[in-house]
Structure 1
Amino acid sequence: MNTAKRVVITGVTQGLGRAMVDRFDELGWTVHGCGRSINKVEELRVEFANHDFEAVDVGDAQAVSRWADQVLNAFGAPDLLINNASIVNRNAPIWSISDEEFTDVMRINVNGTVNVIRSFVPAMIDAQRGMIVNMSSGWGREGEAELAPYCASKFAIEGLTQSMALELPESIGVVALDPGGGIQTSMLAACGPQYMSGSPTPEAWSRAAVPYILRLTTKDNGKSLTCPRVG
Structure 2
Amino acid sequence: MVGMMGGGVVMKGGGGQKTVLITGVSRGLGKALALELAKRGHFVIGCSRSQDKLKSLQTQLSSDDDKHLFFNLDVCSNSSVQDLARLVMEKKGVPDIIVNNAGTINKNNRLWEVPEEEFNAVIDTNLKGIANMLRHFIPLMIEKKQGIIVNMSSGWGRSAAAQVAPYCASKWAVEGLTKSVAKELPSGMAAVALNPGVINTDMLASCFGSSSSLYQAPDAWAPKAADMILNLTMADNGSSLSV
**TM bracket (short chain):** over 0.9
Quick check: 1:10–1:83 contact (8 Å CA) kept in 2?
yes
In structure 2, distance between residues paired with 1:186 and 1:29: 26
Instruction: Please say if residues 76 and 123 of structure 1, whose CA atoms lie closer than 8 Å, have aligned partners that are also in contact.
Output: no
Range with bigger deviation, 84-93 or 214-223: 214-223
Match of 2:225 in 1: 209
Query: 2:103 pairs with 63, 69, 86, which one?
Result: 86
- Once residues 74 and 167 of structure 1 are traced to their aligned partners in structure 2, the CA distance between those partners, rounded to angstroms, is 28
CA distance in 2, matches of 1:96, 1:78: 41
Q: 2:31–2:57: 8 Å Cα contact kept in structure 1? A: no
After TM superposition, give the deviation of residue 207 of structure 1 in Å: 1.4
Candidates 108, 115, 118, aligned match of 2:125: 108
Question: Could you tell me the TM-score, scaled by structure 1's length?
Answer: 0.95
Establish whether residue 226 from structure 1 lines up as the match of residue 203 from structure 2.
Answer: no
Q: Distance in 2 between matches of 1:206 and 1:82?
A: 13
Match of 1:41 in 2: 54
Which of 79, 86, 90 does residue 62 from structure 1 map onto?
79
Amino acid at match of 1:6: T
In structure 2, what is the equivalent of residue 170 of structure 1? Answer: 187
Tell whether 2:174 aligns with 1:161: no
Q: Which residue of 2 aligns with 1:29?
A: 42
Q: Which residue of 2 aligns with 1:10?
A: 23
CA contact (8 A) 2:104 2:125 kept: yes
- Work out the CA distance in 2 between the residues paired with 1:156 and 1:100: 19
Deviation (angstroms), 1:115: 0.6
RMSD of aligned Cα (Å) = 1.2
CA distance, structure 2, for counterparts of residue 211 and residue 68 of structure 1: 26
Instruction: State the AA in 2 paired with 1:187.
Output: M
User: Is 1:184 the counterpart of 2:200 in the alignment?
Assistant: yes
Match of 2:7 in 1: none
**Secondary structure, aligned partner of 1:196:** helix
2:222 is matched by which residue type in structure 1?
A: S
Tell me the percent identity: 45
In the other structure, the counterpart of 2:155 is 138
Partner of 2:169: 152
1:77-124 Cα offsets, whole Å, 9 max, x none, are 110000000000000000001111111100000000111111211111
The question of whether the paired residues in 2 share the 8 Å contact of 1:188 and 1:195 is answered with no
Quote how far apart the aligned CAs of 1:208 are.
1.1
Deviation at 1:195, TM superposition (A): 4.3
Shift of 1:43: 2.0
Mapped contact 2:24–2:48 kept (Cα < 8 A)? yes
- Runs of 4+ in structure 1 off by over 4 angstroms are none
What is the rounded CA distance, in whole Å, between the counterparts of 1:164 and 1:216 in structure 2?
16
Q: Secondary structure, in 3 states, of the residue corresponding to 2:216?
A: coil
Once the two structures are TM-superposed, the CA of residue 176 in structure 1 deviates from its matched residue by 0.3
Secondary structure of 1:58's aligned partner: coil
Give the gaps of 5 or more residues in structure 1. none
Secondary structure at the aligned position of 2:214 is classed as coil
Bigger shift: residues 44-53 or 80-89 = 44-53
Residue-pair matches, total: 226
Alpha-carbon displacement from aligned partner over 1:5-57 (angstroms, at most 9, x marks no partner): 20000001100000011111011111010011011112223332131001111
